[in-house]
Amino acid sequence: MSWTIATFNVNSVRSRLPVLERWLNNSKVDVLCLQETKARDEDFPLQAFVDMGYFVAFRGQKSYNGVAIASLEEPDEIVYGFDDGKEPVFDTRALSVRFGDIWVMNTYVPQGKSIDHDDYMVKQEFLRRTQTTISDRISDGKRVLWVGDMNVAPEEKDVANPKNKAKHVCFHRDIRDLFGTVCQGLVDVFRSHRPEEGEFSFWDYRVKNALDRNIGWRIDHILASPDLAKLSSDSWIYRDPRGWEKPSDHTPVLASFDL
Amino acid sequence: MSWTIATFNVNSVRSRLPVLERWLNNSKVDVLCLQETKARDEDFPLQAFVDMGYFVAFRGQKSYNGVAIASLEEPDEIVYGFDDGKEPVFDTRALSVRFGDIWVMNTYVPQGKSIDHDDYMVKQEFLRRTQTTISDRISDGKRVLWVGDMNVAPEEKDVANPKNKAKHVCFHRDIRDLFGTVCQGLVDVFRSHRPEEGEFSFWDYRVKNALDRNIGWRIDHILASPDLAKLSSDSWIYRDPRGWEKPSDHTPVLASFDL
DNA sequence: GCAAATCGCG
DNA sequence: CGCGATTTGC
């Protein structure tokens, strides 16, 4: 059976409902991980997801952050934030659901602002904690999918102009190295199917005709433990929604598995 | 030939385009006077009016005020504000167009805030200057239509609760008397056709279910010099748009004439 | 360039 | 309540 997961930074789940409905009413997406929902839990448009046939776990705050996982099947377990006993919990930036022996972790990794900003340290700490969480789950005999807006472009071909991005918090050597470390033992499912350049999932609103000129970033990722990765049949970026009415600045990244 | 004029406080002409298009693409309105357009001239949605077949004269500012007159026929003359040589000109609150020997004056009379506020004095001065303008034009042998948001409910039946409105700047004895004076020699065209109570053109957004409960005001008026008034075939309030999506807090008032 | 929040206003 | 303007964030 073909099982599809998607990650999509929506930049406000309420503003993006028309885009989400247009997409999901015409596609089978089994698990949908959203970032930047920008809605308090009491403001989350739960009914819209229920109407599309989804269960949905979500945790948000006003204005910033916020994550959700919508799924056609009800998850067996939900973890808000990191359950490693440390502070802060980051419950509006990390959310995990378990289906049987598969953990799906959805993260909105802090952007980091600039390499000399405190937030950049927070970003690194956040990544280290994802690594711990993934390791713990693998040690526990589980299979793992880690998806989300990672705010890291792993390779030169993952940004439009790598030359002038050396000091960018999403492309600095240090953050790419750290991200590489966290990804040790995981497979970049998208890249394993699509090795070519020019594949982006985010185009800044402020860059003129960014989509047409394809000046973007690949910072939204789908990573899998090897046992799952070898069951993956395809992975692709669904570019269309970035060109629809009132788009997010990101577009969905998907992967299918033969489970 | 039946000739129809309408007055409509749009509360932002840009926000009200869907309402205006829904209305005007299904009705013949020869002259449409708008108030509270809330758009600088460079921001006025001229093309939308051109697409509906209108000429349009407009003068606005950001955030507040702003008037426009759209007409199927091109006017012979346009006057922005008051042309009596006095200051202030009030060019974003008063606008006149002439078709042959008929002057159409469109005003957004200042609300006045409170009876002890300077703006209430400005309101009175504004009304006195409309009186002068109308008198001058009649003396000049012209026929006159004065329409707009007058911010005066002339009679008890023109407000939902006259008892507790005695000190309201739109219903105080003094402002009604002054408005009555300005209207000397003119006919309240709407009232001449519709004498019954409960006829309102404005329902405050802040009053819960104001439209259903009909808690409103009749402060938008169509007044005509007697020569024109006797040619009027009907006058009515078009209530529907107040119930449409994203409505103004006002609704159009119309009058038809056999010219 | 978008989105949300806050604010002044009626 | 719902406009526009302003500010902040990415």
Q: pLDDT for A36-60, tens place per residue?
A: 999 999 999 999 999 999 999 999 9
Other C-beta atoms lying within 10 Å of the C-beta of residue A63: 10
pLDDT at A249 over 90: yes
Terminal-residue alpha carbon distance, chain A: 6
Average pLDDT over residues B95-107: 98
Phi, psi of A245 (to 5 degrees): -60, 140
pLDDT at A1 over 90: no
The catalytic residue positions of A are 108, 149
Closest CA to B182 of B121, B130, B111, B110: B130
Closest CA to A31 of A58, A10, A6, A1: A6
- The arrangement of secondary structure in A2-258, i.e. its CATH architecture, is 4-Layer Sandwich (3.60)
Q: Which nucleotides of chain D does any protein CB come within 7 A of?
A: 1-5, 9-10
Q: Which nucleotides of chain C does any protein CB come within 7 A of?
A: 1-5, 8, 10
CA A85 to chain centre: 23
Helix (H, G, I), strand (E, B) or coil at B3: strand
pLDDT at B1 over 90: no
Terminal-residue alpha carbon distance, chain B: 6
Q: How far is the CA of B239 from the C1' of D7 (A)?
A: 38
How far is it, in rounded angstroms, from Cα A257 to Cα B223?
Answer: 73
Burial-class residue B17 by CB neighbours within 10 Å (0-12, 13-18, 19+): middle
Mean pLDDT in chain A? 96
Mean pLDDT in chain B? 96
How far is it, in rounded angstroms, from Cα A6 to Cα A69?
Answer: 10
8 Å CB contact between B135 and B108: no
Residue type present at position A14: R
Q: How far is the CA of A206 from the C1' of C1 (A)?
A: 5
Nucleotide nearest to A208 (CA to C1'): C1
Confidence of residue B228 (pLDDT cuts 50, 70, 90): very high
Nucleotide nearest to B11 (CA to C1'): D3
8 Å CB contact between B66 and B58: yes
Q: Which of B149, B158, B188, B249 is catalytic?
A: B149
For C4, nearest residue by CA–C1' is A63
Residue B83 pLDDT: 93
Where in chain A are the domains?
A: 2-258
Q: pLDDT for B153-198, tens place per residue?
A: 999 999 999 999 999 999 999 999 999 999 999 999 999 999 999 9
Q: How far is the CA of B14 from the C1' of C1 (A)?
A: 20
How far is residue B51 from each of residues B20, B30, B42, B47, B127, measured CA to CA in Å? Answer: 12, 15, 18, 6, 35
Nucleotide nearest to B110 (CA to C1'): C10
Percent with pLDDT over 90 in chain B? 100
Other C-beta atoms lying within 10 Å of the C-beta of residue B145: 27
Q: Which of B30, B108, B158, B220 is catalytic?
A: B108
Residue A64 pLDDT: 92
Q: Phi/psi class of residue A100: alpha, beta or left (left: φ > 0; alpha: ψ in -120 to 50)?
A: left
Protein residues bordering strand D (Cβ below 7 A):
A 64, 111, 113, 119, 205; B 11-12, 14-15, 38, 40, 62-63, 205-206, 208, 246-248
Strands B77-80 and A253-258: unpaired
Nucleotide nearest to A112 (CA to C1'): D10
For D8, nearest residue by CA–C1' is A63
Q: pLDDT for B34-58, tens place per residue?
A: 999 999 999 999 999 999 999 999 9
Q: pLDDT for A156-200, tens place per residue?
A: 999 999 999 999 999 999 999 999 999 999 999 999 999 999 999
Residue type present at position A119: D
How far is it, in rounded angstroms, from Cα B95 to Cα B140?
Answer: 18
Residue A75 pLDDT: 98
CA A221 to chain centre: 6
Q: How far is the CA of A128 from the C1' of C3 (A)?
A: 30
Residue type present at position B114: S
Average pLDDT over residues B75-86: 96
Percent with pLDDT over 70 in chain A? 100
Sequence-ordered strand ranges (E) for A10-162:
31-35, 55-59, 67-71, 77-80, 94-99, 102-108, 143-149
Q: Which residue has the tokens 């950001």?
A: B62
For the sheet containing B2-9, what is the strand order?
B55-59, B67-71, B31-35, B2-9, B253-258, B232-237
pLDDT at B21 over 90: yes
Other C-beta atoms lying within 10 Å of the C-beta of residue A234: 14
Q: How far is the CA of B15 from the C1' of D1 (A)?
A: 15
pLDDT at A225 over 90: yes
